[in-house]
Structure 1
Amino acid sequence: MVVLVINEIPDLRKVVRTFFELQGYEVVEAGHPVEAFSQAIEYKPQFVVVDNVVDSIPCLAICKNIQTIPELEAVEFVVLTDFDDELPAVSGINLKGIITKPNIVPKLRNYFPPLK
């Protein structure tokens, strides 16, 4: 299973990558929305972990854009936020969950069991 991680902060992407790799997932990273779209086309992820805002673009716009890619209409999204009430009402995407930073790894475990 492939997970696309979209975040501007390389250290945060590394933490998320390490978590998923230890769980047995293949991980692809993107630091900005254009790169994310390209990676999604190439790797066809089953899951996308995206920050609430990436490069001044709201995550909902990024998610909806990814869902326009053939074969990715049903991809599941997990959104990372700084505050519990930061994300506006979510509609139009297949939302698997919302995780409040900074302590994300234990929360990721709730959504993604080991594949190994």
Structure 2
Amino acid sequence: MVVLVINEDFLLRKLVCTFFEMNGYKVVEARSYAEGYMRANAYKPQALVIDNILDSVSCLATCKKIQSLPNMETAEFVIFTNYENELLDTSSIKLKGTLTKPYILSKLREYFPPLNREYPPDTSYYIH
């Protein structure tokens, strides 16, 4: 399974990418919505973990745009939020859940259980 992580915070992005790698997922990362859109189009991830607001723009429009790409209709979204119930209406996207600090890792474990994998993890999809 390929997961795209979109977040401008370098350390948070690395933490989340490391979680996925250690659990057998292939990871692609992006620092902005524009970069995330291009990577989604290129790699067709099955799940996206995306920051709620980048550059003062809400992620919902970006999620809808990504979801409208060919072969991205079934992609699931997990959104980083700062506060519980921060997102008003996510009915137009396939929302798997939200991640609220400081519970990021426990929620990631809930949403993405470890995959059966070979050791060491395959990092061929890990794009910086």
Normalised-by-shorter TM-score class: over 0.9
Q: Partner residue of 1:94?
A: 94
Asked if structure 2 preserves the Cα contact closer than 8 Å seen for 1:33 and 1:55, the reply is no
CA RMSD of aligned residues (A): 0.9
Same amino acid, percent of matched pairs? 56
Alpha-carbon displacement from aligned partner over 1:57-112 (angstroms, at most 9, x marks no partner): 21111100101110001100001111102111211100011121123011100000
Q: Is the 8 A contact 1:7 1:30 kept in 2?
A: yes
1:76 aligns with 2:100: no
Counterpart residue number, 2:31: 31
| Higher RCO (C-alpha under 8 Å, 6+ residues apart) | 2
Q: CA deviation at 1:19?
A: 0.3
Q: Which amino acid in structure 2 is aligned with residue 6 of structure 1?
A: I
Which of the pair has more CA radius of gyration?
2
Distance 1:28 1:78 in 2: 15
User: TM-score, structure 2 length as denominator?
Assistant: 0.87
Which structure 2 segments of 5+ residues have no match?
117-128
Count of residue pairs the alignment pairs up:
116
Q: Secondary structure at the match of 1:21?
A: helix
After TM superposition, what 4+ stretches of structure 1 lie above 6 angstroms from structure 2? Answer: none
The structural deviation recorded for 1:53 is: 0.6
